[in-house]
Structures are given as C-alpha cells and as structure tokens.
Amino acid sequence: MRIDGLFSVDSCHAEPQRSISWPATRRPFAEFILERSEGLRVTVRLVGTPALTTLGGHLPKEVFAVVWPAYLVTTAIAYLIGAIPVGLVLGKLLKGVDIREHGSGRTGATNALRTLGWCGAIATLLGDIAKGTAGVLIGRLVLSGFGVEAAHYGEIIGGLAAVVGHNWPIYIGGRGGRGVATTLGAALVLSPLSALLALPLALAMIAISDMASLGSLLGTIAGLLVFGLLSVLGYHTPVYAIFALLGGGMIIFQHRDNIQRLLRGEERKLGLRSRLGRPTQASGLDERPATRD
C-alpha cells in the first residue's frame, strides 16, 4: 500500500512506527501514523481533530473526507475512457461509415456485427471489454494508497463509471451501447469466476435463439446470481455486490426496448447462421435505417 505515491507500508518492517502527512505540502490536512507490531495498524488524524484508528482496511466516514478527491478523479478518468465509442471509431476507420445510422443505431458489438461484419464486431467487443477492465484497474491504482477497503470502492466506482461512459458517452451526444461488454470487462477483474460462469450461458443462448439481447439478459441474471453466491461464500469481498447490482441494473435498463419486443415476439435476429455460411460482403453493411429505440 502506498500513500501519496511517496511512502510504502512495507518499509514499516524496518521502522516500528512512522508518521507521514498528506498531501505532502506545507499545509497538510491529514496525518497517517503507521505502526507494525503483530499486524499493521493505521491511525488517521485529520488536522484539528482527534485521532481515528482503522484496522484491516476499514474506512470510517472521517477518512472518506480525505479520499473523496481520489474517488472523483477515478470517476472522471474511467468515464472518459468508457465514453470512447470504439464501434463508431472502427466503423469510420474500416468502412468509412457511422454505425449509428444502421441497424439499432447503437455503438456496441452487436450493431458492429450487423454493420461491419465479424472482424469489426470482434474488435469492438474487445475494445469495449478493455474499457471496463481499465476502469476497475484505474480505481485500484488511484485508491490503493488509502487502504484495502478504499481500493475496493475505487474499483467499483471505476468500473461503474466506465459502463456509464459507454452507455452515455459525452463525445457523441450521450447515445452509446448497452453496456454488456464493458460490464463484462469490469467483472473479469472484480470476480473472474462470476464472469466466466455466466459467459457460456449467454453465448449458448445467443447461438440457440439468434438474439443477442436474450443472451445478454439471461447472462446478466446468471451473473448476478453467481456474484451474490460467491459473495456469501467469501470468494470475494461482499462490497463487489454493489457493482453487480448497479451494473446488472444498467444492462437491464438499456435493454428495456428489447424486453418489450421479446414479449411481443418481435425481437430482431442476428442472422448468425447466414453470416457464418457466407463470406463477408464487400460493404458489410446492414442497409436497414437505424431505429431509435
């Protein structure tokens, strides 16, 4: 663990107690007193207040007052990364088209498949997954200096901010994708087992039904259940369940139009069998106009 990028707790092996100020300026507003005996004890004193003691990474409200700027930085960086419209950029680079003008009008991998073909769809999928992974890792990096619990919340905030950026990107007027791949990328870091158990179900349902929305929704529900079970079993910190609930909720919310069409039996098919059975067309475009749903 590092604080302000200057001091490593590991050095306490050589020093039984050490005090540092944060930030490292002439007017710090917090002091961290680190003591190592049988374990690590961190005492946090905000300037002008009594000392508070935190054990095992617990994050009291007073300490949150110190770290909230780091949460804001995490949110901003992760959102801006998540807002990069990978599918739109690839559409411009690969075929000179705006994929928002075709198919569903979204920028995710499903519409990239309809518009750009397999290569564009796979590249979009990997890029969107990477955005979610980056959001979690940024939160971990920025908050790791404030303790384990703070880092866990930083990972959640970073992952969720990346998903929000993907769904409502500031660069292109707030209409992006549905958040499935970006949520998957974050889940692969937070709870790899949950993601890897839910992914095969989603892919199998897509293959059977030929509907990306149905597979995404069932995979999301399965992921939520597995995430909750693993939290109860202690596979990962229960705090991560916050990401599962909010991330899964955003996926379902973004699929509300798909859910209505599924209930009416009118949901669009991907046409996977025909796409697998024929070579990629010269244009690769789904010529249907975008439906603003």
pLDDT tens profile 259-282: 999 999 888 887 766 665 544 443
Confidence at 149, pLDDT banded by 50, 70, 90: confident
Instruction: Please report whether residue 286 resides in a domain.
Output: no
Show Cβ contacts of residue 265 under 8 Å, excluding neighbours closer than 6 positions: none
Residue 187 CB-density burial (10 A; 0-12 exposed, 13-18 middle, 19+ buried): buried
243 shares a domain with 188: yes
117/227 same-domain check: yes
Say whether both 165 and 254 belong to one domain: yes
Confidence of residue 159 (pLDDT cuts 50, 70, 90): very high
Per-residue confidence (pLDDT) for residue 277, from 0 to 100: 54
Res 26 pLDDT > 60: no
* Residue 157 · residue 108 · CB < 8 Å: no
Q: Are residues 49 and 118 in the same domain?
A: no
Outline where the chain has alpha helix (H): 61-82, 86-95, 109-116, 118-143, 148-167, 180-190, 192-209, 212-233, 241-254, 256-264, 272-277
List Cβ neighbours of 57 (8 Å cut-off, separation of 6 or more): 147, 148, 149, 150, 151
Residue 18 domain flag:
yes
Q: Which of 33-37, 82-86, 197-201, 252-256 has the highest mean pLDDT?
A: 82-86
Q: pLDDT averaged over the chain?
A: 78
Of 240, 103, 114, 85, the closest CA to residue 173 belongs to: 85
pLDDT over 80 (residue 150): yes
* Confidence check: pLDDT of 292 > 70: no
pLDDT of the residue at 134: 97
Q: Do 33 and 19 form a contact (C-beta atoms < 8 A)?
A: yes
Residue 218 inside a domain? The answer is: yes
Q: How confident is the model at residue 172 (pLDDT cuts 50, 70, 90)?
A: very high
Cβ atoms of residues 280 and 115 within 8 Å: no
Q: Which residues pair with 40 in a beta bridge?
A: 36
pLDDT over threshold 70, residue 52:
no
Please give the pLDDT value at position 253.
Answer: 92
**Tens digit of pLDDT for each residue in 1-16?**
333 433 334 444 445 4
Q: Which residues pair with 33 in a beta bridge?
A: 19, 43
- Looking at the chain, the whole-number percentage of residues with pLDDT higher than 90 is 38
How many percent of the chain have pLDDT more than 70?
70
- Looking at 14, 34, 56, the residue that finishes a domain is 56
Query: What is the value of pTM for the model shown?
Result: 0.73
Residue 41 lies in a domain: yes
Residue keyed to tokens 């680190």: 34
Highest mean pLDDT range out of 38-42, 57-61, 130-134, 224-228? 130-134
Mean pLDDT of 217-222: 90
Question: 95 with 236, same domain?
Answer: yes
Measured distance CA(127)–CA(235) in Å, rounded: 28
Condensed to tens digits (0 to 9), the pLDDT of residues 117-143 reads 889 999 999 999 999 999 999 999 998
pLDDT computed for residue 7 by the predictor? 36
Distance of alpha carbon 153 from its chain centroid, rounded? 12
Which range marks the domain in which residue 30 is found?
Answer: 2-56
Phi/psi at 11 (5° precision): -65, -15
For the chain, the domain total comes to 2
pLDDT of 44 above 60:
no
Same structural domain, 15 and 79: no
Strands 17-22 and 30-36: antiparallel
Task: Report residue 32's pLDDT band, with 50, 70 and 90 as the boundaries.
Answer: low
Q: Looking at the structure, tell me whether residues 78 and 109 fall in a common domain.
A: yes
Asked whether residue 90 is assigned to any structural domain, the reply reads: yes
Burial class of residue 227 (count of CB atoms within 10 Å of its CB; 0-12, 13-18, 19+): buried
pLDDT digits 0-9 by tens, 80-94: 999 999 999 999 999
- H/E element holding 85? none
In the predicted structure, residue 290 carries a pLDDT above the cut 60: no
Q: How far apart are CA 271 and CA 86, in angstroms?
A: 23
